[in-house]
Amino acid sequence: MKQSLQVTILGQQFFLRSDSPPDQVQRIAEFAEGQIQEITASGRVADSLQAAILALLNVSARYLHDGGQQELPADVSERLRLMVGKIERALDEKR
């Protein structure tokens, strides 16, 4: 059963619904924040949105490189497509 959970990434609160145990969701959020902070600390970008996108690209590349090339379920693919659209709109607004 899905439950509502709250996580904080880069000082922003996100409310999620997940079937996963709360401690697993928290570990995922901490991992995501760590990836973003790694990008930010490198000095390549200062903007948190750009850092988040670069972190997502890095994690995606590692996932695909490590054999995660299996077909994603349709609902996951659709959610990813919508997320990419939101990111692209946010980037367009910043320009």
pLDDT tens digits for range 14-58: 888 888 889 988 998 898 899 888 888 888 787 888 888 888 888
**Which amino acid would we find at residue 58?**
N
CA separation for the pair 34, 92 (Å, rounded): 26
pLDDT tens digits for range 53-76: 888 888 888 877 776 555 666 776
Q: DSSP letters along 14-43, please?
A: EEEEESS-HHHHHHHHHHHHHHHHHHHHTT
The answer, as to whether pTM is greater than 0.85, is no
Domains in the chain: boundaries: 3-94
